[in-house]
Chains A and B, each alone.
Chain A
Amino acid sequence: MTPMSDLTSIQRFHALANPARFMALSEKIVAPLAILTFALIATGLYFALFVAPADYQQGETVRIMYIHVPSAWLGMFGYMIMAGASAIALIFRHPLADVCAKSAAPIGAAFAFITLVTGSLWGRPMWGAWWVWDARLTSMLILFFLYLGYIALWATIEEPVRAARAAAVLALVGSINVPIVHYSVVWWNTLHQPASVFRIDGPQIASSMLVPLLIMALGFTCFFVTLLLVRMRAEILRRRVRALRLAKAGA
Chain B
Amino acid sequence: MAQYLDMGGYAAFVWPAYAVAAIIMLGIVIASWRDLTRQRGLLAALEGDGARKRAPARSMDHLK
Contact of B24 among A64, A113, A230, A247 (CB under 8 A): A113
Grouping DSSP codes into helix (H, G, I), strand (E, B) and loop, the A interface class, with mixed when no group exceeds half, is helix
A17 CB, nearest partner CB in chain B, Å: 15
B43 CB, nearest partner CB in chain A, Å: 5
B2 interfacial contact with A, CB 8 Å: no
> A231 near B32 (CB under 8 angstroms)?
yes
Which residues 195-214 of A sit at the B interface, judged by CB distance below 8 A?
none
A72 CB, nearest partner CB in chain B, Å: 12
Given known A64-B14, A237-B63, contact A117–B51 (CB-CB < 8 A): no
> A67 near B51 (CB under 8 angstroms)?
no
Given known A117-B20, A237-B43, A241-B39, contact A106–B54 (CB-CB < 8 A): no
Nearest residue, chain B, Cβ from A63 = B14
> A230 near B36 (CB under 8 angstroms)?
yes
Would you give the 0/1 interface string for A84-128, flagging 1 where the beta carbon is closer than 8 Å to chain B? 000000000000000000000011001001100110011011000
B9 CB, nearest partner CB in chain A, Å: 8
A245 interfacial contact with B, CB 8 Å: yes
Q: Given the complex of chains A and B, what is the CA–CA distance between A100 and B52 in angstroms?
A: 31
Q: Given the complex of chains A and B, what is the CA–CA distance between A20 and B25 in angstroms?
A: 28
Would you give the 0/1 interface string for A43-64, flagging 1 where the beta carbon is closer than 8 Å to chain B? 0000001000010000111011
B23 CB, nearest partner CB in chain A, Å: 9
Given known A227-B29, A227-B32, A234-B35, contact A125–B13 (CB-CB < 8 A): yes
Chain A residues with CB below 8 A from B27, complex form = 110
Contact of B40 among A49, A106, A118, A237 (CB under 8 A): A237
> B21 near A244 (CB under 8 angstroms)?
no
Chain B residues with CB below 8 A from A49, complex form = 18
Chain B residues with CB below 8 A from A241, complex form = 39, 42-43, 46
> A251 near B51 (CB under 8 angstroms)?
yes
> A60 near B51 (CB under 8 angstroms)?
no
> A67 near B21 (CB under 8 angstroms)?
yes
A61 CB, nearest partner CB in chain B, Å: 5
Chain A residues with CB below 8 A from B54, complex form = 247
A149 interfacial contact with B, CB 8 Å: no
Nearest residue, chain B, Cβ from A236 = B63
A-B contact pairs, 28 of them (CB 8 A): A23-B63, A23-B64, A59-B8, A60-B9, A60-B10, A61-B7, A64-B14, A64-B17, A67-B18, A68-B17, A106-B28, A110-B24, A110-B27, A113-B24, A118-B20, A118-B21, A122-B13, A124-B13, A125-B10, A223-B25, A227-B29, A231-B35, A234-B35, A237-B43, A244-B43, A244-B51, A247-B53, A251-B51
Residues of A at the B interface (CB closer than 8 Å) are 19-20, 23-24, 49, 54, 59-61, 63-64, 67-68, 71, 106-107, 110, 113-114, 117-118, 121-122, 124-125, 223, 227, 230-231, 233-234, 236-238, 240-241, 244-245, 247-248, 251
Given contacts A240-B43, A247-B51, 19 further A-B contacts (CB under 8 A): A20-B62, A24-B62, A54-B8, A61-B14, A110-B25, A110-B27, A121-B13, A121-B16, A121-B20, A122-B17, A223-B25, A230-B33, A231-B35, A234-B35, A238-B39, A241-B43, A244-B43, A245-B46, A251-B51
